[in-house]
Amino acid sequence: MTEELKFFSPEWCEAAVPLVNSHEATIKGFKDAATFTHRMAFTCAERGLVTHMEWKEGKVSSWSGPQYDESDLWLVIDAGLATWQAAASGASEGGKFLLAGKIKFKKGPMSAAIENAGAFNNFLLSWGKVPTDWDV
């Protein structure tokens, strides 16, 4: 049986990278994957969880705990644990959670979410492939 990894732990982030990068729908969902090179944070503030990731040309090159200065982050996106879990399970799309105010853009251009909505939705869906212990 595959060991479940604590959500947003360094091990979870590491395990998610190849799954995200092999998720064809995410890559196809970018407006222009070749120019999508950014640093961003995904957080679950209600549980005190912060992760930082770097995208290079539409692929995740690193994802781990906090490692960048706030000023280096292009986007900071936060949601509650139940919302992240629902998005990962496909219960609803990330864009819908965003519009409903359950996923919050703490920093960064809204245009990024709109133009890359397909990638965002599928990126969150790819989290569902990681064996996850949601009890965090």
Partner 1 sequence: MASILAMLLGQNLENYPDRIAIARRMPRPVAVYSTDTATMATIVFGNDEATVYNGTVGRPSVTVMASVDQITDVSQLKMKGAGLLPVGFFTKRGLHVLGEIARHRLVVKGLLTHTVTALRFIAVISVVE
Chain residues that interact with partner 1, rule: CB under 8 A: 93, 95-96, 98-101, 104-105, 109-111, 114-115, 117
The least CB distance from residue 97 to partner 1, in Å, is 8
- Give the integer Cα–Cα distance in Å for 58 and 6: 25
Q: Which is nearer to partner 1, 9 or 92 (CB)?
A: 92
Q: Which is nearer to partner 1, 65 or 90 (CB)?
A: 90
The least CB distance from residue 16 to partner 1, in Å, is 24
Q: Are strands 49-56 and 38-44 parallel, antiparallel or unpaired?
A: antiparallel
Q: Which is nearer to partner 1, 12 or 30 (CB)?
A: 30
Q: Which is nearer to partner 1, 33 or 117 (CB)?
A: 117
The least CB distance from residue 95 to partner 1, in Å, is 5
The least CB distance from residue 25 to partner 1, in Å, is 15
* Gyration radius (Cα) of the chain, Å: 14
- Give the integer Cα–Cα distance in Å for 104 and 57: 24
Question: Closest by alpha carbon to 64, among 39, 81, 37?
Answer: 39
Instruction: State the burial class of residue 59 (Cβ atoms within 10 Å of its Cβ: 0-12, 13-18, 19+).
Output: middle
